[in-house]
Structure 1
């Protein structure tokens, strides 16, 4: 059977190869020796990079891309009537979704699998910095090596697992790391908390080793042997400073001494502590302390994309807990830069998330900024809904705009096709998982 063959000897075709999850698998498997090809509907930075390393890419999808491959892997958005899927079926090639393929790809690997509602990308990137000799597949580009994949051959891999579609259960965890288990993506669990926590419990039991944040209400009830972090008790002496205008957090962890890590905020210290405690089974504490300094942040997580009179920060925060933590971090950053004005620009992500967490969103903007700008909800494929945002969030006295536009070193607020305000100085922090990241960068 094809799944029993050495993965490094397979010919694998990826449909939807431009997506970050699929492109990550393609880059990783190429590094393991597999012969990779792919297709997508249009070129992107990901497809251009893949082409540059010798992967043939077909744009758009075409049956001609399906030749003698051993395996086809497709992204979640690819439908059964896709012409390449149909051609693969005709040729009796094994076809797997990304979720299905993970189990096959990771089954013989020593996987450090990191999941959680918040902080998993950052914690994964920190672990990758600590373990430069391990492969890595992360859900965002780490600035350390400019990619979401560390493309090396290794039996061990740092893997950011996804609980949103239950695919973390296919990640074959040797070491399970959970930052928190706050309920999200409940549609995948039938909106049933018992099913949700049951999946996390199954994930933990699958692993040989575990590291968890026991101040999470659910994780605090988990009694099986594990590395346990109690942030309020184990982390102390937190301080923040700028080095070359970049944010750093300094803290002490248990009796292990002092550590420094890129980023601001208590959540940064928590993420780093989980990474440190996980790594202690593999490296000396001095190696961990030194390697952690290689972490330089990840794209779209407190991503400082412009400095000067107007500092622009792009952050992926799209849940009330994340928004609150990011605003706390930007407040610390502003104080370090001598109290610059903070302009928060929020693009709500998905109607379902906004409504599921409405009370949290109505309460998470209580502090950490001087001015709030609210953009239209980023639908992310959902049907449009009519919401009275002025009524829901009017207590914050925000400015409502249709979009923002980068103009030189300034940001312009556009409403009804006219500029209603120009932001020339201070710190602008973009919050959201939609196209706000491209608006902030002047790419849209």
Structure 2
């Protein structure tokens, strides 16, 4: 079988190569020595970058893109009727989804695999900063090296594992790091908490080493030997400072001394602590302390995109727990910057998530938010569901806008063609996993 060969020696074609998950695999495998090609339906920043490093890209999909490749890997949104899938089938080329391919890409690697409902991208990027000689595949661009992939040859890799489609079970963890096991994406687990916990248990037990947040109820009950972090007693002396106008959290971890890490909030200290403890058997603690300072945040996570009279921050938070933690961080930043007003612009992400966590969303804006603006739900392919948002969130007296527009250094709220409000000062925090990130940047 073709995959008995070293996958890094194959000719591989990626369908949907512009997506962050697929492009990450393509970049990583190219760095390992594979011969890569790809295709997508439209041009993007990702496809332009891939071309710049010598990967031929076909736009749009075409059967001519399938030549003598030995393996085809496709993103989850690619359907069986795709013209390239059909051509690969005719030629007898092995076809794998990204989820299926992970097992073979990582099977011979020493994988530090990070998962959890919240904080896994940040923790992965912190761990990547601590291990600069490791390869990395992360779910967001880290500002340290401007990409979601560290494109180097290495036997060891930091990998952000995805529990949303169970693909974390294919990540071959040497060290399993779990930030939390809060139920999310339950449709992938037949809406069964038992199935959800069984998958996490399988992930953890498959690893040689484990590092977990033991204050998570499920993880606390996990019996196998693990490096266990109890944030409330293991992390102390948390303080917040600005270095060259950038946010940093300072904290003490167990008996290991003080650490500085980019970002604000207790959750930042927790994520950093898990990364530190996972690395502790690999590096001297002083080297870890130094390398952690290379972490400069990741795109769309407390991403400060404008400073001045109006500060604009973009954050991917799209679950009540994440929103609450992000708003706490904004409040810290507001106090240090002596800016009085915090304006949250929220784009709900998916009707299913909104309905599954409705009570949490109704509560998570109560503190650290002076004004709430709500945009239409980003459907993410779901069918529209009628919700009386004015009634559900009426206790916040929110402003409902259809979109926002960045105009020079101001934010305009639009309803149809009409500007209903212009925001000129304070701190705007954009919250959501849809296209709000492009609206905040004036790119849409």
**TM-score per shorter chain, which class?**
over 0.9
C-alpha distance after superposition, 1:16-63 (max 9, x if no partner)? 000000000000000000000000000000000000000000000000
Q: Which residue does 2:49 correspond to in 1? A: 49
- 1:15 and 2:11 matched: no
- 1:172 and 2:172 matched: yes
Matches within 5 A, 1:239-278: 239-278=239-278
Q: TM-score, normalised by structure 2?
A: 1.00
| Cα distance in 1 between the residues matched to 2:347 and 2:405 | 14
Superposed structure 1 runs of 4+ greater than 2 Å apart: none
Provide the aligned length of Structure 1 versus Structure 2.
Answer: 444
| Cα distance in 1 between the residues matched to 2:361 and 2:121 | 22
- 1:406 and 2:406 matched: yes
Name the stretch that deviates more: 111-120 or 3-12.
3-12
1:16 and 1:78 in contact (8 A); partners too: yes
Q: Which residue does 1:209 correspond to in 2? A: 209
Shift of 1:340: 3.1
Shift of 1:276: 0.2
C-alpha distance after superposition, 1:157-191 (max 9, x if no partner)? 00000000000000000000000000000000000
Structure 1 vs Structure 2 CA RMSD: 0.5
Matches within 5 A, 1:346-361: 346-361=346-361
| Cα distance in 1 between the residues matched to 2:256 and 2:339 | 33
Q: Which residue does 1:332 correspond to in 2? A: 332
| Cα distance in 2 between the residues matched to 1:256 and 1:346 | 39
Secondary structure, aligned partner of 1:240:
strand
Please list every run of 5 or more consecutive structure 1 residues that lacks an aligned counterpart in the other structure.
none
| Cα distance in 1 between the residues matched to 2:2 and 2:386 | 50
Shift of 1:223: 1.5
Q: Which residue does 1:395 correspond to in 2? A: 395
- 1:135 and 2:135 matched: yes
Please list every run of 5 or more consecutive structure 2 residues that lacks an aligned counterpart in the other structure.
none
Q: Which residue does 1:385 correspond to in 2? A: 385
C-alpha distance after superposition, 1:406-428 (max 9, x if no partner)? 10010000013200100111110
Q: Which residue does 1:219 correspond to in 2? A: 219
Secondary structure, aligned partner of 1:414:
strand
| Cα distance in 1 between the residues matched to 2:144 and 2:9 | 30
- 1:344 and 2:338 matched: no
Q: Which residue does 2:40 correspond to in 1? A: 40
Q: TM-score, normalised by structure 1?
A: 1.00
Shift of 1:339: 3.2
Secondary structure, aligned partner of 2:393:
helix
Shift of 1:8: 2.4
2:351 and 2:377 in contact (8 A); partners too: yes
Q: Which residue does 1:65 correspond to in 2? A: 65
Q: Which residue does 2:90 correspond to in 1? A: 90
Shift of 1:432: 0.3
Q: Which residue does 1:365 correspond to in 2? A: 365
| Cα distance in 2 between the residues matched to 1:388 and 1:185 | 24
Q: Which residue does 1:308 correspond to in 2? A: 308
| Cα distance in 2 between the residues matched to 1:29 and 1:3 | 14
| Cα distance in 2 between the residues matched to 1:310 and 1:37 | 43
| Cα distance in 2 between the residues matched to 1:423 and 1:49 | 35
| Cα distance in 1 between the residues matched to 2:429 and 2:15 | 35
Secondary structure, aligned partner of 1:218:
helix
C-alpha distance after superposition, 1:254-277 (max 9, x if no partner)? 000000000000000000000000
- 1:123 and 2:141 matched: no
| Cα distance in 2 between the residues matched to 1:336 and 1:151 | 37
2:339 and 2:427 in contact (8 A); partners too: no
